[in-house]
């Protein structure tokens, strides 16, 4: 999913904060438990109020994720 996130980060980088966490290293296992993420890759989308609005587990097409990000950005305006 890295290429998808890379592309979306370039497109939405000024409007959306992207935080990458390695599920197997550092704080990764703790974050996986805290958010009850069953596997990886995973992408969690939060709105400006820090409420989770969408969760993707496994690889996703860029267009699917882009629709959710577009909604989050529009909600901010």
Per-residue pLDDT of the chain (77 residues; tens, 9 = 90+): 889 899 999 998 889 999 999 999 999 999 999 999 998 899 999 988 999 999 999 999 999 999 999 999 988 77
**Cα–Cα distance between 29 and 21 in angstroms, integer?**
9
Helix (H) or strand (E) segment spanning residue 34: helix 28-34
Question: What pLDDT sits at residue 75?
Answer: 85
**Cα–Cα distance between 58 and 63 in angstroms, integer?**
15
């Amino acid at each position: 999913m890295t290429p998808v996130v890379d592309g979306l980060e370039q497109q939405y980088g000024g409007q959306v904060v992207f935080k990458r966490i390695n599920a197997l290293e550092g704080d990764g296992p703790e974050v996986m438990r805290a958010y009850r993420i069953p596997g990886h890759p995973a992408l969690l989308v939060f709105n400006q109020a820090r409420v989770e609005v969408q969760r993707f587990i496994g690889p996703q097409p860029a267009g699917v994720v882009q629709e959710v990000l577009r909604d989050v950005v529009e909600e901010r305006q």
